[in-house]
């Protein structure tokens, strides 16, 4: 049974994912964020398979991919020694 009204603290991935799922189940969701700027930190976000599968389940994968770049492999290059490792 889903409670009728739910308060979620924080607009992070966890809070937003919970809000989407709870709303699908009919709950009235209130999402609050302490940071008025709702800043992001860093230059970009890299997401791997498990996160993308979760996004698909939430129904937001296509919208997410429309704003990003999908690729099949990642190359990690340590500063020293200078060689590549591909995963």
Nearer to ligand FAD, 16 or 27 (CB): 16
**37 is an interface residue for ligand FAD by CB under 6 A:** no
Contact 16, 23 (CB under 8 A): no
**35 is an interface residue for ligand FAD by CB under 6 A:** yes
Per rule CB under 6 A, count of chain residues that contact ligand FAD: 17
* Residue selected from 2, 28, 32, 53 as contacting ligand FAD according to rule CB under 6 A: 32
- In angstroms, the CA 15 to CA 34 distance is 13
Long-range contacts of 38-44, Cβ-Cβ distance < 8 Å, separation of 24 or more: 38/11
Number of other CB atoms surrounding residue 31 within 10 Å: 16
Binding mask 46-85 for ligand FAD (x = CB under 6 A): xx---x----------------------------------
């Amino acid at each position: 049974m889903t409670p009728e009204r739910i308060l979620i603290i924080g607009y992070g991935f966890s809070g937003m994912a919970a809000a989407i799922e709870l709303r699908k189940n009919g709950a009235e969701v209130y999402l609050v964020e302490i940071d008025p700027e709702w800043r992001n930190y860093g230059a970009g976000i890299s997401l791997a398979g498990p996160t993308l599968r979760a996004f698909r389940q939430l129904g937001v994968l296509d919208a997410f991919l429309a704003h990003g770049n999908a690729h099949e492999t990642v190359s990690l290059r340590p500063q020293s020694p200078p060689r590549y490792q591909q995963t």
